[in-house]
Chain A
Amino acid sequence: MTCRWQELLSILPPWMRERVNYIGRETLQELRLRIGAPPELVLSGQSRWLDRLITIEDIQFCINAASRYSPWAADSQSLGYLTASGGHRIGLCGQMISKDGKVTGFRSLSSICIRIARDFPGISSGICGEGRSVLILGAPGWGKTTLLRDLARILSQKHSVSVVDSREELFPTGFQRGKRMDVLSACPKDTGIEMALRVMGPEIIAVDEITAGEDCAALRQAAGCGVKLLATAHAGSVEEFRRRPIYRPLWEAGIFDTCIVLLKDKSFREERMPV
């Protein structure tokens, strides 16, 4: 298992680092900081709280450290998250600023949720992704990204894989990459897919979390070019995936051959996509 643990500790306020290191080094999944409440450490499904209350300064420290004191380099804040060095994702919550119906940032933050990125090489070895387009389904926090990362890495031993890592979470610095893998990071998914197709000549394109119609259109276009796809989506089952309107174009086009459905206990089952 790989985890950029020091990078995580470095974005926490100094008073919290030692305690989080002691309690959560092996099992920490999420760290939730809410102003006026003690920090919540989610460890393999159970929670533990530290004894000091979180202040606005603590939240600000985390945001500054995660963005490396560079708000201009972290424009994903308007999308409600930040990716810290090491691939740890920080979800933001608070009072937002909207202009012309579009969210442009946060006026004030009230809580953040830090999700710890961990890499488990070999967890997807039971999945046969050879010559197929694979869709990984699961609810948030069930391990879609972890599974995709490993599957892409394994397939890249034999095939040329282009990874479109829009949030820099799949292969942050320090995570082992595959032998024939090219990673396009910090790039919108639809643009990234198009660029990878045009310039990298991939056999497989891997993309995390399809969330918009543009992503679906780009995937359809890539599939039409003879490229196999690896992707993840938020859905608890194939039926849920089918019912979500945003995914209808993908379903109707029958792009994916195999579906991996993740379960809450991090196990998964493989299903053939109905034709």
Chain B
Amino acid sequence: MSIKCLGVILVIGSCAGFGFSAAMAYEKQEKTLYQLLRVLDYMSCELQYKLLPLPELCRQASRECEGVVHRVLSALASELERQMEPDVQSCMQIVIEKIRMPSRRIRRLFLLFGRSLGKFDLAGQLRGLEEVRTACERELRPLTLQKQNAIRSYRTLGICAGIALAILLI
């Protein structure tokens, strides 16, 4: 009997954990997008004020954020400093291969970000950052709107799936 109880608890616990981790991943996506938006603002300001070269700009911007955005920017700065790739896009490609992304949409955004960097004069570069910002906001809007529902659903689904599985197994 006690083994059965333990099994039920484990099944429910693991399914609930799965649901909660899916909810956390959802929150992480939103957080990453907000961080990216903040970094884009920071980069635009620094560019207009100091005309910093890209490796320094990425290094500085990476200090302003954390998580995936921090990791991507510092890896990008290092890749740019190595000067082994012909352009920023190729550097970003290498960085993205190395770092695990929270989702495909974030990966796509980083690729777009990489494509927009290092090609134009100041005005063009600022427009490029603006384009990434728009794409970022477009991705963020549905995430924010559905946040509460989605998180609740993932958690409830996890717990319910655990209970259902436990009943079936008993």
Task: Point out residues on A near B: beta carbons under 8 Å.
Answer: 10-11, 14, 57, 60-61, 64-65, 67-73, 75, 105
Name the distance in Å between A228's Cβ and chain B's nearest Cβ.
33
The reply to whether B54 and A69 form a contact with Cβ atoms under 8 Å apart is: yes
Determine the chain A residues whose CB is within 8 A of the CB of B52 once the complex forms.
70, 73
Output the nearest chain A residue to B91 by Cβ-Cβ distance: A69
Choose from B55, B57, B86, B120 the contact partner of A71 (Cβ within 8 Å). Answer: B120
Chain B 97-122 interface mask (CB, 8 Å, partner A; 1/0): 00000000000000000000111111
The reply to whether B86 and A60 form a contact with Cβ atoms under 8 Å apart is: yes
Given A68-B55, A72-B47, check contact A10 B122 (CB 8 Å): no
3 closest A-B pairs by CB: A69-B118, A68-B53, A72-B122
Output the nearest chain A residue to B84 by Cβ-Cβ distance: A14
- Summarize B's interface: helix, strand, loop or mixed: loop
Name the distance in Å between A118's Cβ and chain B's nearest Cβ.
21
Q: How many residues of B contact A (CB 8 A)?
A: 21
Extra inter-chain contacts (10) besides given A64-B118, A68-B55, A70-B54, CB under 8 Å: A11-B83, A69-B53, A69-B118, A70-B51, A70-B53, A70-B57, A71-B118, A73-B52, A75-B121, A105-B121
Bound Cα distance A75, B52 (Å): 12
Bound Cα distance A68, B83 (Å): 8
Residues of B84-99 at the interface with A, using a CB-CB cut-off of 8 Å, are: 84, 86-88, 91
The reply to whether A70 and B118 form a contact with Cβ atoms under 8 Å apart is: yes
Determine the chain B residues whose CB is within 8 A of the CB of A75 once the complex forms.
121
